[in-house]
Structure 1
Amino acid sequence: MKFTAKVTIGLKEGMLDPEARAIQHALANIGFATEGLSTARVFTITLEAEDRAAAEAQVEQMCERLLANPVIHRYEVEVLA
């Protein structure tokens, strides 16, 4: 079966996020004050798997082995269909 998974990868709490800091500063310059801002990458992955659990396991492995650095990143996997 084909499954589509959505993976969101962001920095763990306490990690420096210079891109978010620059965006927050730019927003303040145009009148949008924010209390916090963080960035994340979103991947949409289509894959073949026997069932939803197998698809989720494959995507978890992708995150652990390539997409995310477990030292600095947190990630969330959602198998959509």
Structure 2
Amino acid sequence: MKARVIVTLKTGVLDPQGQAIEGSLASLGFGGVNSVRQGKVFDLEIHGTDTESARSQISAMCEKLLANTVIENYAIEISN
């Protein structure tokens, strides 16, 4: 079973890296970009578990390691 975890900053949290990317895009001639928010993607492969158990296990991984839940949100996508 494969899973993807997408981690993004919560609304209202400053994103200096996103702002730097936005400025760089403008300087490279890519106008019309109003906002950039950067994040992280984790691709996982989980063996020997059902979808709900996998979701629970991955959620625990996010809470303990993959995301700083004080300032970040995460979303889990699971496929077979």
TM-score per shorter chain, which class?
over 0.9
Q: Hey, what does 2:73 align to over in structure 1? A: 74
Q: 1:36-75 alignment to 2 at 5 Å?
A: 36-75=35-74
Ranges in structure 1 where 5+ consecutive residues have no aligned partner: none
Q: Hey, what does 2:9 align to over in structure 1? A: 11
Cα distance between partner residues in 2 of 1:49 and 1:10: 28
4+ residue stretches of structure 1 with deviation over 2 A? Answer: none
Cα distance between partner residues in 1 of 2:64 and 2:74: 13
Secondary structure of 2:49's aligned partner: coil
- TM-score, normalised to structure 2, is 0.92
Cα distance between partner residues in 2 of 1:80 and 1:6: 9
Aligned length: 79
- Contact 1:4–1:46 under 8 Å retained in 2: yes
For the aligned residue pairs, the C-alpha RMSD in angstroms reads 1.0
Identity, in percent, stands at 38
Residue 30 of structure 1: how far off its partner (Å):
1.6
